[in-house]
Structure 1
Amino acid sequence: MNEIMLGLANVLSITSILAIIAGMSLGLFVGSMPGLSATMAIAILLPLTFGMDPATGITMLTSLYMGAMYGGSILAILVNTPGTPAAAATVLDGYQMTERGQAGKAMGISLTSSLVGGIISGIVLLTVAPLLGQVALAIGAVELFAIAVLGLTIIGSLSTGSVIKGLLSGAIGVLISLIGMDPITGSTRFTFGSVYLFDGISFVVALIGLFSIPQAFKLVEKDSEKVKASKIKGKMLPTWKEIKSFKMTLARSGVIGVFTGLIPGTGGDTASWFSYNEAKRFSKEKNKFGTGHPEGLAAPEAANNAVVGGALIPTITLGVPGSSTTAVLLGALMIHGIMPGPTLMSEYADVTYTLLWAVLISTLFLFGLGLLYTRLAVGVTKIPSKILAPIIVLMAVIGTFAVNNSMADVMIMFTFGIVGYFMDKLNISVAPLVIGMILGAMLDTSLHQSLIIGDGDWLVFLRNPTSAILLFIALVSIIQSTPLLKKSINLFKKEG
């Protein structure tokens, strides 16, 4: 209880409130701009948190995450273009309402639904995460190794496109994490004689390159057509009667969002489509979906904001990121010397509980700032892509140089940026690579410690019941996603 109240006090401090406002404002802007993402913005802003208290820095980045989840709906409703992948389902009914001259009402429903989804997310996070954190205290090196393996396999198998490509991406991330000095023996690995690589590849530098430079390239490649956004007129917020008419949809979608976020590799886009389909299935007016039906707009918007809390639960309790965005948030903890893992909630309780409260408090600020920003959004969405692209590159260079005041970091950042760009062209997900870089260190250290415990016997992982179960789940996760197995099952069904 003391830790919970300490986290609340940290979030309600003047410094944290200003950080929430700054993060939320930037999140709304990023989410409402085509081609930009919360992950990219958080990666670029990481160096700015160096001089901040860890709790304040994490609070700002969390509010940015929450703001971007809602901001994606602004472009979807006004321009018929999702600002983020999570807003793809919002287009179906949101833009139809705009076509009927109800853009303001659509934005109001979206904002209200995001508020409800965020509150559900925050409450679940505050109640479930501490309970799981107590369980996590019993986890040792052997179990930690199994958790790291499970995290890698799930992320790889659920990545976009080929399973093999996803696992390959994760494996590359692990190899990158091994560059530098061995944490146990002190010997150097993959440094090629370069003193610069003795400390390994800076996680922040890699993140900025992977997420900012490819986005800038994409913006340059886009057509320079001006966006034609509809004006927002009239009353925005829905009446209490209108909210009551789809209250069950809001509650159901919020729960769907939380549970979807719990599954590593999924995200707001999966939750949005799932909740939209469920809302349509339970609705008495199924034929109205896709024609500008408020219920069809409320469902995905409640779900995509609820995903935030769900994705943070495995991130905080186990140190396994639920998405690429939460992976970057873990990176923010790492640059402040806070190592992710099951001991996070016990050893760094003040920062962790501040993060839990930040989700709930930032949701409340989202409602107020969202009302102010939404009417300005029409002008913001008209900023040409070719102006945004150089700004992103400039911010990436400044942020990278600020890490160690080194031009070598800037060169490495651009290298990762080019790699990320071609990975996107080859339909190879970057998320597993990021997860691999984070979990690689945990995997490396826990493997050494486990083998010491087992006197060099690899069967130590199978003798431990928890470890054996987790490794079995990891194996099943890979096998069931293998195309060869799917073909065999389909062939067996046909012959049967």
Structure 2
Amino acid sequence: MEILFAAMEVLARWDVALALIAGSIGGVAIGAIPGVGPAVAIAILLPATFSMDPIVGLTVLLGIYGSSMYGGAIPAILINTPGTAVNALTTYDGYPMTLRGEARRALSLAYSSSFFGGVFSVVCLILLSPVLAKVAPMFGSREIFLAALLGVILVIVAHRGQMLIAAALTGFGIFLSTVGLEPVKYSRRFTFEQSWLASGVDLIVVVLGLFALSQAFVLLTMDDEKVHIAKSRGSLFQGFRELARHPRVAAVSAGFGVLMGMIPGVGEFTAQFMSYTSARKLSKTPQAFGRGSSEGLIASETANNAVPAAAMIPLLALGIPGEALTAMMLSVFYVHNVVPGPGLFQFQMDFVVALYLALLILNVLVVGFLLVSTGWLVYLTKIPNRFLGMCILLLSFVGVYSIRNSAVDCGVAAVFGLIGFVLKRLNLPIVPIVLGMVLGGIMEVKLRASMNRVKTPLDFIDRPIALLLFCVIVVVLGSTLWRVWREWTPVDRRSNAKKASVHFTKRIAGRKTRHFETRTKKQRRKRSYDHLGS
């Protein structure tokens, strides 16, 4: 109880309360604008949070992270354009409802489902806190290294169909983390006698370039489209009653969101598709999915809003981010010398509980704000793309320059902006670069620290958690290689091989039959000759 009261006292500060309100409302507005998204907004605001207290800065970023998906459902439902990337599945059933004149019902369902998923994941996070507080101290350097290695592998495996390019981009991110002074002997690596590379490639500069500047370039090259918003009828409160009629869909989808959020490198997309698929299989009317099904809308919105709180679990317990947004938040911890990991649960539990309560309050604030302001937020979808692009471009360069007052950082950010622009044009992933930079640094430091106690390779996995993580890595790699091999030898190729073997068998059998018939004819002829001879 003392920890709970201490956490509530932290949240009662006026600056924390203001940051929570600004982050939640700002996140909804950012999510409602197609083409921006939380990654761009967090990347732009990141330099400004370095001058704040850690709880204030993280509250702003968490507000944007958790509430942007609420706002992203508005354009997805009304104009068939997802406000954020993770709201893409919402268009499957949300927009058909709009075409039927049920836009308010769809919006209400999206809000209530998002609220249930967000609260469910926060409750799970609070219930898991005692377990994390006991398990986290068992993680030493070896365990954290293996967990980071597992995170790298899962990041690559999660990009199914693009695993080779994801592995290459992750390796590029790990390489970027090695540039500059190495952490033990402070010798220079890959600086090429350039003094500005001695301090390394700054993570925030890379993030701003890959996410904010690249998105600005994309918006500047797009044509402005006229947006027509259909009229709707109904009440924004009816979705809560309708959600209560589908408790199984909501609970299963929230469970998928929590589980996928806890696994580094997986995220909202996998949670959404798994929950959507399971909801369709369990539904009595699966044919309605994709045509305005309320169950489909509940499944997609519940799952993606259950991920943010769950994604904080590996970040807080092990210091390992599961995606790009939590990797950005990790930099706020490091700037203020707050080290996520086992020590955070032992010595700063009030800080952790304050973050949990902030996430809980965030969902209440967002739903209340949406129920009274949806009619005004709709007009944000009409902002021209090129105007948005210019605003993002200007704010991004101001943010980059404010980090170290360096024009070189602006040039580096511009280079990574072009790299991100090319990757987006080619539909290639950007997240592996950022996670490679973060996890690469963690892996190097923990590997060097653990090697002092390791004599043989088996000593590296001589503890239960290390052995468990090693087994998980082996299972993931083995199952992935098996799946790749099965995909590399598709069914039609295997069936062709089977047909070829059957054809070959028939040919052999045919030869044997003809040989038998020929031999039989010779024997008959010989018998006839013998008969004539006799």
Structure 2-normalised TM-score?
Answer: 0.86
Partner of 2:476: 477
**How much does 1:227 deviate?**
1.7
Where does residue 271 of structure 2 map in the other structure? 271
Change (3 A) 1:353 1:221: same
**8 Å CA contact 2:108, 2:240 repeated in 1:** no
Deviations 1:424-456 (A, max 9, x none): 33443221211111112211111111112225x
Q: How far apart, in 2, do the equivalents of 1:234 and 1:453 lie?
A: 66
1:381 maps to: 381
Report the alpha carbon displacement of residue 348 of structure 1 after superposing the two structures with TM. 4.2
Q: Secondary structure at the match of 2:184?
A: coil
Tell me whether 226-235 or 165-174 shows the greater mean CA deviation.
226-235
- Structure 1 CA distance for aligned equivalents of residues 254 and 395 of structure 2: 35
Pair 1:478–1:33, CA change in 2 (3 A): farther
Query: Are the aligned partners of 1:86 and 1:270 in contact in 2 as well (CA < 8 Å)?
Result: no
Query: Comparing both chains, which one has the higher relative contact order based on Cα–Cα distances under 8 Å and sequence gaps of 6 or more?
Result: 1
- Whole-angstrom CA distance in 2 between matches of 1:287 and 1:266: 28
Cα displacement string for residues 91-136 of structure 1 (whole angstroms, at most 9, x for unaligned residues): 1221122112221222112111111111101101111144123201
Cross-structure match for 1:237 = 237
Provide the secondary structure at the position in 2 that maps to 1:376.
Answer: helix
Identity %, equivalent residues: 35
- RMSD between aligned residues: 2.4
Assess if the C-alpha contact under 8 Å between 2:210 and 2:419 holds in 1. yes
Moved more, 385-394 or 263-272: 263-272
- The residue type equivalent to 2:472 in the other structure is I
Shift of 1:241: 4.3
Instruction: Give the number of the structure whose alpha-carbon radius of gyration is greater.
Output: 2
Do the aligned partners of residues 485 and 290 (structure 1) sit closer, same or farther apart at CA in structure 2, a change above 3 Å counting? closer
Report the CA distance between 1:234 and its aligned residue: 4.6
Residue identity matched to 1:35: G
Give the alignment of 1:392-407 within 5 angstroms: 392-407=392-407
The residue number in structure 1 matching 2:163 is: 163
Counterpart of 1:358? 358
Distance 1:285 1:56, change over 3 A: same
Where in structure 1 are there 5+ consecutive unaligned residues?
none
Matches within 5 A, 1:209-358: 209-238=209-238, 241-358=241-358
Deviates more, 1:240-249 or 1:63-72: 240-249
What SS does the corresponding residue of 2:291 show, helix, strand or coil? coil
Q: CA deviation at 1:356?
A: 2.1
Query: 1:179–1:201: 8 Å Cα contact kept in structure 2?
Result: yes
Separation (CA, whole Å) in 1 of partners of 2:301 and 2:139: 36
Aligned residue identity for 1:107: L
Q: Distance in 1 between matches of 2:24 and 2:36?
A: 15
3-state SS of 1:375 partner: helix
Task: Tell me how far 1:278 sits from its aligned partner.
Answer: 2.3
Question: Which amino acid counterpart does residue 93 of structure 1 have in structure 2?
Answer: D
Q: Confirm whether residue 205 of structure 1 aligns to residue 183 of structure 2.
A: no
Write out per-residue CA displacement over residues 182-213 of structure 1, whole angstroms, 9 at most, x where no aligned residue.
Answer: 22222222222233333222221111111111
- The amino acid across from 2:325 in the alignment is T
Letter in 2 for 1:152: V
Q: Contact 1:331–1:438 at 8 Å: present in 2 too?
A: no
Question: What residue is the counterpart of 1:142 in the other structure?
Answer: 142
- Greater shift, 357-366 or 347-356, is seen at 347-356
Query: Aligned runs of 1:20-99 on 2, under 5 Å?
Result: 20-99=20-99
Corresponding residue for residue 414 of structure 1:
414
- Counterpart Cα distance in 1 of 2:348 and 2:14: 21
Note the C-alpha offset of 1:364.
0.8
Q: Does the 8 Å CA contact 1:454/1:460 hold for their aligned counterparts?
A: yes
Residues 420/116 of structure 1: CA separation in 2 closer, same or farther (3 Å cut): same
Provide closer, same or farther for how the CA distance between residues 460 and 185 of structure 1 changes in structure 2, counting only shifts above 3 A. Answer: farther
In structure 2, the CA distance between the partners of 1:390 and 1:59, relative to structure 1 (3 Å rule), is same
User: 2 CA distance for matches of 1:379 and 1:160?
Assistant: 37
Contact conserved, 1:59 with 1:358, CA < 8 A, in 2?
Answer: yes
Preserved CA contact (<8 Å) 1:78 1:98? yes
Match of 1:109 in 2: 109
Per the normalisation by structure 1, the TM-score is 0.93
1:425 equivalent to 2:422? Answer no
- TM-superposed deviation, 1:78: 0.5
Matched positions, count: 495
8 Å contact from structure 1 (residues 93, 293) kept in 2: yes
CA distance in 1, matches of 2:323, 2:490: 31
Unaligned 5+ segments in structure 2 are 499-534
How far off is 1:371 after superposition? 1.9
Q: Report the residue type matching 1:336 in the other structure.
A: H
Q: Deviations over 1:74-97 (max 9, x none)?
A: 111100111222212211221122
State the distance in 1 between where 2:189 and 2:256 align: 44
- Structure 2 residue identity aligned to 1:32: A
Separation of aligned partners in 1, 2:203 and 2:333: 11
DSSP 3-state at the match of 1:265:
coil
